[in-house]
């Protein structure tokens, strides 16, 4: 299991990436994160919705109600053009971080 504090600073990027692929709702994002990481990383619902609020406030994503399913309308999230630009910056930053960390940790075991 990965220490959640290590990934916490990258949750915005992870969620933006998933929403970039297609509009998604909360539970779907949570399941997708678990699935892609073979359950090595799981996001708590409360954390996920706090990220949604933060990203919406920064106008990086926007929400809308989907069609009715199983008793109610699902709230979907889509990335904005500002969100796409921000994600691109985060990807560049991540590549820099990886390069720097590799200088110090690569080859050690």
What is residue 2's predicted lDDT score, i.e. its pLDDT? 65
Predicted confidence (pLDDT) at residue 4 exceeds the cutoff of 80: no
Break the chain into its structural domains and give their ranges. 4-105
Band (1; pLDDT cuts 50, 70, 90): low
Topology of the domain comprising 4-105: Arc Repressor Mutant, subunit A (1.10.10)
Model confidence over 69-99: pLDDT tens digits?
777 789 999 999 999 999 999 999 999 999 9
CA distance 27 to 62: 16
pTM of the full structure? 0.86
Band (7; pLDDT cuts 50, 70, 90): confident
């Amino acid at each position: 299991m990965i220490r959640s504090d290590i990934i916490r600073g990258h949750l915005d990027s992870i969620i933006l990436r998933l929403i970039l692929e297609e509009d998604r709702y909360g539970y779907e994002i949570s399941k997708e994160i678990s699935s892609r990481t073979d359950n090595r990383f799981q996001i708590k619902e409360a954390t996920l919705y706090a990220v949604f609020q933060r990203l919406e406030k920064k106008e990086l994503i926007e929400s809308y109600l989907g069609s009715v399913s199983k008793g109610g309308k699902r709230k979907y999230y889509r990335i904005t053009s500002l969100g796409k630009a921000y994600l691109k910056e985060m990807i560049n930053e991540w590549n820099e971080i990886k390069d720097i960390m590799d200088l110090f940790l690569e080859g050690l075991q």
